[in-house]
């Protein structure tokens, strides 16, 4: 593995990139090498909730399923927060049961996600994907034991440089999510912001990968 793409919706199957491809239970694609699977708050369907959770539980027991998610909370959508919390907690129970890390989607609900982590005493790694917020929030999340993953906002928002460069080297990942740019471009800007060589950055992320995913 030269590069690790922590979260992507596009399976490109490059030889030197390990991609953690986001999958949804109802659209599961068995041809994808490594993936996470979960119920995204945007796509909660109460009519198939039990079926989706059953599929997730089944897949979490396979080697190719590296994580659960993306799942989490989003206060900017119509789906009631209470329902989102209930489904998020059910997925966290599965993460604990099968000792899998969690890819988290969080919009305007960081306090709630942190409170749930503490209440449920979650021991598996929890990674906030697509982080784009300020230094104060980043420091608080790190203190509360979260990992942060950076992607498109690192490329598109220069203000994120000051946040990213101070993230501890053992608590971050890089991703492409839904954007067209390649993970190599994210690594390039990340190494520049961190003042590291590309090789040093690759070594750091490989080490983080081993700690988080080879539980």
Check whether 184 is labelled as a binding-site residue. no
Task: Tally the C-alpha atoms within 13 A of residue 150's C-alpha that lie toward its C-beta.
Answer: 32
Residue 68 corresponds to which tokens in the numbers above?
A: 């659960």
Check whether 129 is labelled as a binding-site residue. yes
For residue 186, the Cα-to-chain-centroid distance in whole angstroms is 16
Residue with tokens 């053992």: 170
Bridging pattern class, strands 102-107 and 65-74: parallel
In angstroms, the first-to-last Cα distance of the chain is 18
Check whether 70 is labelled as a binding-site residue. yes
User: What's the per-residue H, E or C state across 102-171?
Assistant: EEEEEECCHHHHHHHHHHCCCCCCEEECCCCCCHHHHHHHHHCCCEEEECHHHHHCCCHHHHHCCCCCCC
Check whether 40 is labelled as a binding-site residue. no
How many CB atoms are closer than 10 A to CB 2? Answer: 14
SS3 208: helix
Rounded CA separation 175/75 (Å)? 23
Q: Which residue ranges are tagged as binding site?
A: 70, 105, 129, 177
Q: Which residue ranges are tagged as binding site for a divalent metal cation?
A: 70, 105, 129, 177
């Amino acid at each position: 593995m030269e590069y690790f793409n922590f979260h992507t919706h596009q399976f490109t199957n490059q030889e030197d990139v390990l991609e953690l491809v986001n999958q949804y239970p109802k659209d599961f694609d068995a041809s994808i090498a490594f993936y996470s699977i979960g119920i995204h708050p945007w796509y909660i369907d109460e009519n198939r909730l039990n079926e989706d959770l059953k599929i997730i539980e089944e897949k979490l027991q396979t080697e190719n399923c590296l994580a659960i998610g993306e799942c989490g909370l989003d206060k900017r959508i119509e789906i009631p927060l209470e329902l989102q919390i209930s489904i998020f907690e059910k997925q966290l129970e599965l993460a604990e049961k099968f000792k899998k890390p969690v890819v988290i989607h969080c919009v305007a609900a960081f306090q709630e996600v942190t409170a749930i982590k503490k209440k449920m005493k979650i021991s598996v790694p929890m990674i906030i994907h697509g982080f784009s917020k300020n230094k104060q929030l980043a420091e608080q999340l790190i203190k509360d034991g979260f990992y942060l993953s950076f992607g498109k906002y690192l490329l598109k928002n220069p203000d994120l440089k000051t946040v990213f460069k101070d993230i501890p080297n053992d608590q971050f990942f890089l991703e492409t999510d839904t954007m067209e740019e390649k993970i190599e471009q994210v690594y390039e800007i990340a190494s520049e912001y961190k003042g590291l060589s590309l090789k040093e950055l690759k070594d750091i992320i490989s080490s983080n990968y081993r700690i988080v995913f080879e539980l």
